[in-house]
Structure 1
Amino acid sequence: MRLTAAIEQFETHEYPATTEELIEAYGDTELVLPNGTESLGEVLGRLGNETFESATDAHMAAYGAVSSKGIGRKYYSDRDPVGPGEDGPDPLSL
């Protein structure tokens, strides 16, 4: 399941809710990420023991806890110039 669809499940949960409650309810959901998979339980487990006042709070925290598997192309930016004397990443043609 894509991350956005998985996190939308939080909308039906009753708040306030703890990380533990969300893991119990949704932790088995498998996330399909650009560079692999992980469970929503793994993502939420990185947050420690928190209490969320709303689904929006839980959404934002979960987005911030996704591993590097959720990054499309690591270190890629078309906005950051390479500084003088620095070697930037090799160009990649798509």
Structure 2
Amino acid sequence: MTHEVKLNELTELLESASYPLSADAMRSQFDDVTLVYADGSEPLAAVLDRIGSDQFDSAEDAQTSIFNVVPVEGVGEPGQSEGEG
């Protein structure tokens, strides 16, 4: 059964793991997780495949690495800004 996780819920998920954690171990531990984007979804394993790291030292390290490879379109509405409005 697939476990769907929104990007704003990723921190809680990653904090449930023990670190340091290899990328392979993370794939195995979260093999049923699908990240839900603003415009679709993607298996977490596919996201991890795009990350160059072999190991994550903390949940924050893993989250930063994941956010760096998540498609920009998946984060919010096109043209949406959190800046001045």
- TM-score interval for Structure 1 and Structure 2 normalised by the shorter chain: 0.7 to 0.9
1:14-36 C-alpha deviation (Å, 9 max, x unpaired): 11111111111113211221111
Aligned-partner SS, 1:21: helix
Query: Cα distance, 1:6 vs. partner?
Result: 3.5
Identity, % of aligned positions:
29
| Cross-structure match for 2:57 | 53
TM-score, scaled to structure 2: 0.73
Please tell me the root mean square deviation across aligned C-alpha atoms, in Å.
Answer: 2.1
Q: Return 5+ residue gaps in structure 2 as ranges.
A: none
CA contact (8 A) 1:6 1:29 kept: no
**Please, which of 9, 12, 15 is the counterpart of residue 5 of structure 1?**
9
Whole-angstrom CA distance in 1 between matches of 2:11 and 2:29:
12
Higher Rg of the two aligned structures:
1
Give the structure with the larger strand fraction.
2
- More RCO (CA 8 Å, sep 6+): 2
TM-score by length of 1: 0.68
